[in-house]
Amino acid sequence: MKTETNLLRELPSVDRVMTHPAAAPLLERFSRPFVTETLRDLIDELRQVIRSGHGLPPDRLQDESIITDLEKKLVRAARPGLVRVVNASGTILHTNLGRALLSEAAAEAVGLVARHPVNLEFDLHRGKRGQREAGVESLLRELTGAEAAAVVNNNAAAVLLGLNSMAEGKQVVVSRGELIEIGGSFRIPEVMAKSGALLREVGTTNRTHPRDYADAIDENTGLLLKVHTSNYRVVGFSAEVELKELVAIGRERGVPVMEDLGSGALVDLATLGLPREPLVAERVAMGADVVTFSGDKILGGPQAGLVAGGKCWIERMNQNPLKRALRCDKLTLAALEATLRSYVQSPDLLREIPTLRAFSRPPRRDRGVRQESAAAAARTIGSGALPTEEIPSKGIAVHTGKMSADEVAQVFRRADPPVIGRIKSDRFMLDLRSAGDPGSLVPNLPDRQRPL
């Protein structure tokens, strides 16, 4: 056995390994700084192993062996951080897993505009500069019945832009029952503060009446805001002012009304056998001056914030310098246009939009799958849509005598592709509704971790 000092002396220098002929192919695959840094880390690791006194097999310090280890390390480090996973969490629109899956048409549109020049802001008919959102805007007008529409980065941005454009320096009246927080740090009072508008809270947590709004309006009022309580419900002794009533108060006093609808459906979910989510078109028809909603929730498109409303308000938003900072890129606009086009043109929306398909898919009866009771396996929709609603699903409970639910979950997370389930009542569950094709639930587990 060699002594620690001798082994340390045998550690090669970075230079020696880099100039070894066997290292040449690595430099054809990877940049020199990347290879050098990775090699330096590898040599440091070997040094630590030697110092820890655990010893090393004698051939581990030979140049060839180090280059083999280096290649493995490079390949591992070059793997993308963002990888495909299987969503067996049971939450269909899982914010941590990227929310909506795009339709085939949308994914294809993204691929096309990513690879080629496109007429993003070019009017092919007149040969002049065109409107970046023209295509999406006309589809949104058609689908919502609004006079005009705009698109920004996400719904949080849409709310910020709306507040800033309509009520900067003025008071915005909101019910205390609607001062929501959405996961990932979207909070109405904080967005309001950043928009430069002043929050004027009215009513109480559980009850707000029309007179609360009416009494709060004065010459400093810029806007009445209604916020859809997407991710919770106030139940019991509660009262809220319906949009219709709010619009009536606003009209009478000359104050515009904006609604943050959160998810905002473009089709009636009841036709899919789901509980109803407010339709954007309905809210526009009720007289909301501006309605904002997300592109990647129930709608099933890319991350985006959609704004439908009166022409004068949308124009004001488009002229706001904030709009330039919050605008969408061509990839998003391409995906959104393709998605909206399906809503207008497709004969079979459910087949085309994966999110809608996932909600409406009947739970399967799979052989070999133990069926949970509907209640135990009921899935939530997620991302602040229909918070109290669960739709039936089928789950597979995975247990082994030897492992805790947490340990089983970890094994599945290490699979290729990683499988994300959920733990309920101390059991690890794979949910079939959010996972799409049940075939995708059979992952390649690392060999020594096949516990089942």
Among 18, 148, 214, 227, the residue binding ligand PLP under the rule CB under 6 A is 227
Which positions from 74 through 133 interact with ligand PLP, judged by CB under 6 A? Answer: none
Among 89, 103, 230, 434, the residue binding ligand PLP under the rule CB under 6 A is 230
Q: Which stretch binds ligand PLP (CB under 6 A): 104-112, 152-160, 417-425, 434-442?
A: 152-160
Rounded Cα distance, 221 and 218, in Å: 6
Q: How far is the CB of 314 from ligand PLP (least distance, A)?
A: 18
Stretch (H or E) spanning 431: strand 427-431
CA-closest candidate to residue 276, choices 344, 215, 228, 326: 228
Q: Which stretch binds ligand PLP (CB under 6 A): 65-73, 226-234, 317-325, 436-444?
A: 226-234
> With the CA atoms of 210, 215, 217 and 220 taken in that order, what torsion angle do they form, in degrees rounded to the nearest 10?
-150
Nearest residue to the partner ligand PLP, using Cβ: 262
Residue 8 near residue 50 (C-beta atoms within 8 A): yes
Site string for ligand PLP, 1-40 (x = CB under 6 A): ----------------------------------------
Rounded Cα distance, 258 and 319, in Å: 18
Nearer to ligand PLP, 301 or 443 (CB): 301
Nearer to ligand PLP, 230 or 342 (CB): 230
* Strand 128-129 versus strand 148-152 pairing type: unpaired
Spell out the residues 6+ positions from residue 89 whose beta carbon is closer than 8 angstroms to its own. 97, 420, 421, 422, 431, 434
Determine, following the binding rule CB under 6 A, whether residue 155 of this chain makes contact with ligand PLP: yes
Determine, following the binding rule CB under 6 A, whether residue 241 of this chain makes contact with ligand PLP: no
* Phi, psi for residue 46 in degrees, rounded to 5: -65, -40
Determine, following the binding rule CB under 6 A, whether residue 182 of this chain makes contact with ligand PLP: yes
Q: How far is the CB of 295 from ligand PLP (least distance, A)?
A: 7
- Token pair in block for residue 316: 């004001």
Among 171, 294, 339, 342, the residue binding ligand PLP under the rule CB under 6 A is 294
Nearer to ligand PLP, 18 or 257 (CB): 257
Among 256, 384, 395, 421, the residue binding ligand PLP under the rule CB under 6 A is 384
* Phi, psi for residue 318 in degrees, rounded to 5: -65, -30
- Binding residues for ligand PLP, total number by CB under 6 A: 14
Task: Output the 3-class SS for 199-246.
Answer: EEEECCCCECCHHHHHHHCCCCEEEEEEECCCCCCCCCCCECCCHHHH
Nearer to ligand PLP, 263 or 355 (CB): 263
Rounded Cα distance, 260 and 307, in Å: 9
Q: Which stretch binds ligand PLP (CB under 6 A): 106-114, 142-150, 260-268, 395-403?
A: 260-268
Q: How far is the CB of 155 from ligand PLP (least distance, A)?
A: 3
Nearer to ligand PLP, 295 or 395 (CB): 295
Nearer to ligand PLP, 132 or 228 (CB): 228
Determine, following the binding rule CB under 6 A, whether residue 339 of this chain makes contact with ligand PLP: no
Which positions from 185 through 214 interact with ligand PLP, judged by CB under 6 A? Answer: 186
Q: Which stretch binds ligand PLP (CB under 6 A): 124-132, 257-265, 346-354, 411-419?
A: 257-265
Residue 403 near residue 394 (C-beta atoms within 8 A): no
CA-closest candidate to residue 281, choices 270, 294, 267: 267
Q: What is the DSSP letter of 180?
A: -
Q: Which stretch binds ligand PLP (CB under 6 A): 78-86, 122-130, 224-232, 357-365?
A: 224-232
Rounded Cα distance, 132 and 126, in Å: 15
Residue located via tokens 């507040």: 163
Q: Please give the full DSSP string across 348-383, using - where no structure is assigned.
A: -HHHH-HHHHHHHPPPP--TT-PPPPHHHH-EEEET
Q: Which stretch binds ligand PLP (CB under 6 A): 75-83, 258-266, 398-406, 417-425?
A: 258-266
**Where does this chain bind ligand PLP (CB under 6 A)?**
154-156, 182, 186, 227-228, 230, 260, 262-263, 294, 305, 384
